[in-house]
Amino acid sequence: MDGHDTCGHHGHGPAAHGPARTAELVARAERLAQDLGLQFTALRRRTLEVVAEEGRPLGAYDIAERLSAPGKRVAAVSVYRALDFLTEHGLVHRIASRNAFVPCEHGHGAGESAVFLICRSCGSVDETISAEIERSLDRTLAQAGFKPASRIVEIEGECGTCQGRQEAG
């Protein structure tokens, strides 16, 4: 019953989606690993937490920097491998137009594809699911005789919060 709630703040600050969302995602990852016999390792967990706690798309090198400590440096290549795992299982999504990653906000199956609304002003990314868009796409693909495997739908523009801000300012 949440739909596309957008959380009301849109990431105007580092607080992001909060620890609640993060814990939810981690729990989902643990269930998933349990069920499929996969390893939800410490690196994968920390990578997921970093992505989930940031309120905007993060590059792999940014993630590596956040995971690194003065004595313990995490190389970007390790982050890429963790991100491969997380994206394959739908825990994070890659934003192709930004070369960056965001946490999944919906727990959708592999069949449902998401629409990403990317704000040019504040950099927030909102993930929504629309059955109507799915149907339109499926119809067009069937008509063209094209068998889809993965879908990328990314809209750049201005989110509701930033529109109000500009009008008021």
Task: Name the burial class of residue 9, with classes exposed (0-12), middle (13-18) and buried (19+) by CB atoms within 10 angstroms of its CB.
Answer: middle
Show the tokens assigned to 73.
Answer: 């440096």
The tokens for 127 are 């993930």
Q: Which helix H or strand E contains 128, and what residues bound it?
A: strand 125-128
Cβ proximity to its own copies: between 33 and 133 the closer is 133
Q: Which is nearer to its own copies, 65 or 154 (CB)?
A: 154
Cα angle 122, 80, 42 (rounded to 5 degrees) comes to: 100
Q: Which of 31, 73, 108, 139 binds its own copies (CB under 8 A)?
A: 139
Amino acid occupying residue 159: C
Q: For its own copies, which residue of 147, 167, 168, 169 counts as binding (CB under 8 A)?
A: 147
- Binding to its own copies, residues 55-114 (CB under 8 A): 96-97
CA angle 130, 164, 13 (to 5 degrees): 80
Q: Which is nearer to DNA, 63 or 104 (CB)?
A: 63
Binding residues: 119, 122, 134, 159, 162
Give the footprint of Zn ion on this chain (CB under 5 A): 104, 106, 114, 119, 121-122, 159, 162
Binding site for its own copies (CB under 8 A): 4, 6, 96-97, 115, 117, 119-120, 126, 128, 130, 132-133, 135-137, 139-141, 143-160, 163
